[in-house]
Each structure stands twice: as C-alpha cells, then as structure tokens.
C-alpha cells in the first residue's frame, strides 16, 4: 500500500484526483484548519532526497494536513507539512491557492 501511495504521489495521480473533485465550489464561505496524522515509528530517516513531510511535534513524529473547504464542506485546497509546522505559517499559501479557485471557478 505504501509503495502504491508513493508511486501515485510522484506521478501526480493524487493531485489529479483531488482536482477532479473540485467542481463549482461554493466559495461564499471558506474554512481553513489543520490536523495531525501520526507517522509510523519507522517512517523517518529513510534514505532519499525528496522531503517526507514528517516532523517532530508534541505527539511524536507526525505530518500535518492543512486544508481549506468550501461551504459544502468539500476540500478545495490543501498542503501537507511536518507536524511541527503551525497553521498560521501555511495559511498564506492556502489563501493564495484560493485566489486561483475564485478566479477559475467564481
């Protein structure tokens, strides 16, 4: 399962799937929040040059999903970072991607 996830991530399949879900979002209300995802105990330290978005937080090794949803509760923008990254740090980038959504769909 992990290998399939990595292959799909590198090929951009996940991005295409999520972009396909965004169809005429209701941008009257947009909410942004973050959520931790606990990483497996052996997940950090793998050899490789690409970032793994795993950081150390109070909960241990975690990743964090920063997500924006529309008025229907559907995702319209997201970013994945290490767990130590604050929501305030990622909010400007998500807001910038929302400007694209307003221009493209609104």
Domain boundaries, the chain: 2-105
Helices (H), the chain: 2-11, 13-21, 87-105
The residues, ordered by sequence, that sit 6+ positions from 52 with a Cβ below 8 Å of its Cβ are 43, 44, 46
pLDDT digits (tens, 9 = 90+) for 23-68: 777 888 888 888 877 776 656 555 666 656 677 776 677 888 888 8
Q: How many residues does the chain have?
A: 106
Q: Is the pTM value of this prediction over 0.75?
A: no
Predicted confidence band of residue 85 (pLDDT cuts 50, 70, 90)? confident
Longest dimension (CA), the chain: 44
């Amino acid at each position: 399962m992990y290998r399939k996830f990595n292959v799909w991530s590198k090929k951009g399949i996940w991005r295409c799937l999520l972009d396909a879900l965004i169809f005429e979002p209701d941008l009257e209300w947009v909410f942004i929040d973050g959520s931790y995802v606990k990483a497996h105990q052996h997940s950090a330290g793998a050899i490789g040059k690409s970032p793994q978005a795993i950081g150390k937080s109070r909960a241990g090794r975690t990743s964090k999903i920063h997500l924006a949803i529309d008025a229907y509760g559907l995702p319209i923008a997201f970013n994945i970072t290490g767990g130590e990254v604050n929501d305030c740090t990622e909010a400007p980038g998500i807001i910038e991607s929302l400007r694209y959504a307003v221009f493209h769909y609104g």
